Amino acid sequence: MAAQPLHEFCPAEPGAETAALGFSLSLAASWAGAPGIIWTGEEGAFAEDGAPYPLGLAQYGLDPAKVIVVRTQKRDDALWAAEQSLAARGAVVICALAARGKPLDLKATRRLLLFAERNGSRCLLVRPLADASAAWTRWRVAYAPSVAEPDEIGPPAFDIELVRARAAPAGARFIIEWNAHDRALIERNVARDLSAAPQYGSADQIRARA
């Protein structure tokens, strides 16, 4: 996944929008390092899923001072902001779109892909499941039960399924946990750091295919 410029994350069902966004934030955080993250989105997405909260970002393992948030009223403006952000070499950009409104067309996703390819940057597109997309991979994301000691809160966990991939067959499914302390995605029961996985591997398809 890390080698490819555009990936798409879709809620697995109504109510799973924050799961798709949470997993995208986790993945972006595992990639971003010191430069931080640029998070663009239309106001409808923030209204439905909630606005960024500095304390929550810090508990999630993100430095709020290194998360640039761009909120727009219109979808076209959110996409434009994402494109301009991807023009920064090596940038990690999340573009979150709401469920309402005109579906995103293939041309719009191709523009995101081109901006990312030209500048060695990466885009994580969070939107409802749709047909047309230039993304290298598409994932369906839901929450998974967190594992913790009694009376404790466990790490965020996600149930993710590969819906589409350019370089590999779809259908793989994983339970992934986010370790905020180590800023790493861990496959449950395997405990391998997916943020450092090779380009192609067996259980490492999240990075290899996505």
Which pLDDT score is estimated for 48? 77
Domain total for the chain?
A: 1
Tokens 């449950």, located at residue: 188
- Give residue 185's domain range: 6-208
Which pLDDT score is estimated for 3? 67
Residue 1 lies in a domain: no
Residue 94 lies in a domain: yes
SS3 198: coil
Residue 89 lies in a domain: yes
Residues 6+ apart with CB under 8 A from 136: 4, 5, 6, 7, 165, 166, 167, 209, 210
Which pLDDT score is estimated for 1? 59
* DSSP label of 49: H
- The CATH number of residue 23's host domain is 3.40.50.300
pTM of the model: 0.86
Which parts of the chain register pLDDT below 70? 1-3, 33-34, 189-210
Residue 20 lies in a domain: yes
Which pLDDT score is estimated for 198? 36
Residue 22 lies in a domain: yes
Q: How many whole angstroms separate alpha carbon 28 and alpha carbon 18? A: 15
The single-letter code of the amino acid at 25 is L
**In contact, 143 and 134? CB cutoff 8 Å:** no
Residue 99 lies in a domain: yes
